[in-house]
Amino acid sequence: MLKQTPLNAVHRAAGARMVDFGGWDMPVNYGSQIEEHHAVRNDAGMFDVSHMRVVDLAGAGGRDFLRYALANNVDKLQVPGKALYSCLLAEDGGVIDDLIVYFLREDFFRIVVNAGTADKDIARFRALIAARAPQLTLTPRTDLAMIAVQGPNARAKLWQALPGSEPASAALKPFMGADIGDTFVARTGYTGEDGFEVMLPAARAAALWNALAAAGVRPCGLGARDTLRLEAGMNLYGQDMDEAVGPLESGLAWTVDLASPRDFAGKAALLGRAPARRLAGLLLVDKGGVLRAHQLVHTAQGDGEITSGTFSPTLNQSIALARLPAGVAVGDTVRVAVRDRELKARVVKPPFARNGKVQVA
Amino acid sequence: MNVPQALKYTASHEWVKSEPDGTLTVGITDHAQQALGDLVYIELPDVGRVVAAAEACAVVESVKAASDIYAPVGGEVTAVNADLPSTPELVNQDAYASWLFKLKPADPGAVGKLLDAAAYTAAIGDA
């Protein structure tokens, strides 16, 4: 039996094409994935991301705990409401998950983790809490739904759909969130566009979704979410990284501060390991197919593999993230095995597209 | 689901139309285009190529996945729809108008063995 979000019936009534996404019954599109993609780049679209898990960490010493538990440094969070992207690492440096942590008060942090990894993340946090900070309580918020409203017009349309939300959220800078009553609104997302992620009681999710639709926000499925995040150069857990690789091989060195004296879970393993491979962007130069995950990439320095590939609606060209030998440089031409032929692709630095514009030449 | 009565079908989701001159026009079904999602790449066989029944002879790729297209019967490719490589979305817009290729069948009777609309409808679980 697939798990359902509070918006399941709304998706079905809208004619969504539903798929099994890691045990969740989720919309992949509502007709055309490409039109949904363009709606987000050019106007406003919304995604049901209620399958993602909100986990609240309460109690004294939460910052000290997270300073060790997370690979990125929560001391970057000094203003209440500020958010940070981080990996949760295993002791061997493998990536258990990537997540967003919000600093709300010194005794209250909110963490948003991936759906498929939520259970193992919570088990990992609980083990670390038991060992280091037993005074903390970790509360999975299965009572909350989450809607991402994304696109250049997303904020204005949310203010229209959620009366009273504008005063508290208009001043939010990117990567900042604020409580509005029992609703949490954050200027975050997974598309490379402006917008909000809204966490609210599950019982009110359908009403907000319908109000957003009435305000002209286009319902978008997980298909468009994937092409948008890939254009934006954002990793997908389980595809671009997992427990078998570390953040340094996954384009996430910027989230790991190895130079500071701060100790964190997995740090020792990272220090002992110079990455032989790195994540890079690929732009398909030849015609003849679409770049896809697991295709082999031949380079002058040896072989690599595509971790995520798709057709980019914004570039009208195929793009990919690929794990390549460390010596491969931006601008190099590589050959990708696409079905029965080898196609030329150029190594580029992601993102491919953000804020409605192509970012690579 | 749109499954026109006048056409024949394969279990691999091709539709086949018998033309008055004895050739067969081949495309992918509405069910197939819906399952694939937005098409972004189509590769068609060379005209003159001789294909066996069930031989992979074209490729359609959507944003989501690549899929081989199989010859419904053996024969020679006599024409391809040259509009499709530059505008693959035409197949999403009308799968039965947007044919992929035409075949001159080696055995004119072979088309009779393909699925009819009722059998194909049953095969896709939409009866």
Contact list, A313 vs chain B (CB under 8 Å)? 63
Q: What is the per-residue pLDDT for A62?
A: 98
The percent of residues above 90 in pLDDT, for chain A, comes to 97
Average pLDDT over residues A55-76: 98
Shared domain check, A201 and A92: yes
Q: Å from B62 to nearest chain A CA? A: 8
Average pLDDT over residues A340-354: 97
Nearest to A34 among B34, B41, B63 (CB): B63
CATH number of the domain residue A91 falls in: 3.30.1360.120
- Say if A223 is an interface residue toward chain B (CB within 8 Å): yes
Instruction: Judge: B63–A292 Cβ closer than 8 Å, yes or no.
Output: no
Evaluate if residue B117 carries a pLDDT over 60. Answer: yes
Instruction: Judge: B41–A290 Cβ closer than 8 Å, yes or no.
Output: yes
Around Cβ A260, how many Cβ atoms within 10 Å?
A: 10
Summarize pLDDT for A209-243 with one digit per residue, the tens.
Answer: 999 999 999 999 999 999 999 999 999 999 999 99
Evaluate if residue A96 carries a pLDDT over 60. Answer: yes
Sheet holding A53-58: strands in order across? A83-89, A95-105, A108-113, A53-58, A137-140
Q: Which two tokens stand for residue A188?
A: 């975050």
Q: What is the DSSP letter of A315?
A: T
d(CA A107, CA A66): 12
Helix (H, G, I), strand (E, B) or coil at A62: helix
Shared domain check, A286 and A149: no
Shared domain check, A286 and A235: no
pLDDT confidence bin for A117, thresholds 50/70/90: very high
Q: Of all helices (H) and strands (E), which one includes residue A14?
A: none
In chain B, whose CA is at the least distance from the CA of A36? Answer: B38
Shared domain check, A259 and A117: yes
C-beta of residue A185 within 8 angstroms of C-beta of residue A165: yes
Return all residues near A119 (Cβ < 8 A) that are at least 6 apart. Answer: none
Contact list, B61 vs chain A (CB under 8 Å)? 289-290, 311
**Sequence ranges of the domains in chain B:** 8-106
Q: Which of A275, A293, A322 is the last residue of a domain?
A: A275
Evaluate if residue B37 carries a pLDDT over 50. Answer: yes
d(CA A176, CA A183): 14
Residue A62 backbone phi and psi in degrees, to 5:
-60, -40
Could you tell me which CATH class the domain B8-106 is placed in? Answer: mainly beta
d(CA A43, CA A149): 10
Summarize pLDDT for A168-210 with one digit per residue, the tens.
Answer: 999 999 999 999 999 999 999 999 999 999 999 999 999 999 9
Instruction: Judge: A17–B64 Cβ closer than 8 Å, yes or no.
Output: no
Contact list, B41 vs chain A (CB under 8 Å)? 289-290, 311
Q: Å from B38 to nearest chain A CA? A: 6
- Say if A317 is an interface residue toward chain B (CB within 8 Å): no
Contact list, A33 vs chain B (CB under 8 Å)? 37-38, 63-64
Instruction: Judge: A289–B59 Cβ closer than 8 Å, yes or no.
Output: yes
Evaluate if residue B1 carries a pLDDT over 80. Answer: no
Evaluate if residue A92 carries a pLDDT over 60. Answer: yes
- Say if A312 is an interface residue toward chain B (CB within 8 Å): no
Q: Å from A30 to nearest chain B CA? A: 10
Shared domain check, A318 and A222: no
CB–CB contacts below 8 A, A to B: 41
Instruction: Judge: A32–B59 Cβ closer than 8 Å, yes or no.
Output: no
Instruction: Judge: B63–A339 Cβ closer than 8 Å, yes or no.
Output: no
Checking DSSP bridges between strand A45-48 and strand A195-201, what pairing results, if any?
unpaired
Shared domain check, A84 and A113: yes
Q: Which of A275, A296, A323 is the last residue of a domain?
A: A275
Q: Which of A257, A275, A293 is the last residue of a domain?
A: A275
Q: Which two tokens stand for residue B95?
A: 């799968």
Instruction: Judge: A310–B63 Cβ closer than 8 Å, yes or no.
Output: yes
Best mutation target, B40, B57, B92, to test chain A (most A CBs within 10 A): B40
C-beta of residue A335 within 8 angstroms of C-beta of residue A305: no
Shared domain check, A282 and A266: no
Q: What is the per-residue pLDDT for B126?
A: 63
CATH number of the domain residue A313 falls in: 2.40.30.110
d(CA A231, CA A78): 30
Q: Which two tokens stand for residue A140?
A: 């999975």
Average pLDDT over residues A348-356: 97
Shared domain check, A247 and A212: yes
Evaluate if residue B127 carries a pLDDT over 60. Answer: no
The residues that bridge with A29 in the sheet, in sequence order, are A17
Nearest to B61 among A28, A290, A313 (CB): A290
State the residue range of the domain holding A3.
Answer: 1-275
The residues on B that touch A, with CB distances below 8 Å, are: 34, 37-38, 40-41, 43, 59, 61, 63-66, 89, 92
> What burial letters (b/e) apply to A196-231, b meaning 16+ CB within 10 Å?
bbbbbebeebbebbebbbebebbbbbbbbbbbbbbb
Per-chain mean pLDDT for chain A? 97
**Angle separating helix axes A205-214 and A154-161, nearest 10 degrees:** 120
- Say if A294 is an interface residue toward chain B (CB within 8 Å): no
**Domains in chain A, number:** 2
The percent of residues above 70 in pLDDT, for chain A, comes to 100
The complex's ipTM works out to 0.86
Q: Å from B109 to nearest chain A CA? A: 33
Q: Å from A183 to nearest chain B CA? A: 34
Evaluate if residue A29 carries a pLDDT over 60. Answer: yes
Per-chain mean pLDDT for chain B? 95
Return all residues near B65 (Cβ < 8 A) that are at least 6 apart. Answer: A292, B36
Instruction: Judge: B63–A17 Cβ closer than 8 Å, yes or no.
Output: no
Shared domain check, A308 and A259: no
Average pLDDT over residues A239-251: 97
d(CA A225, CA A115): 15
Shared domain check, A247 and A186: yes
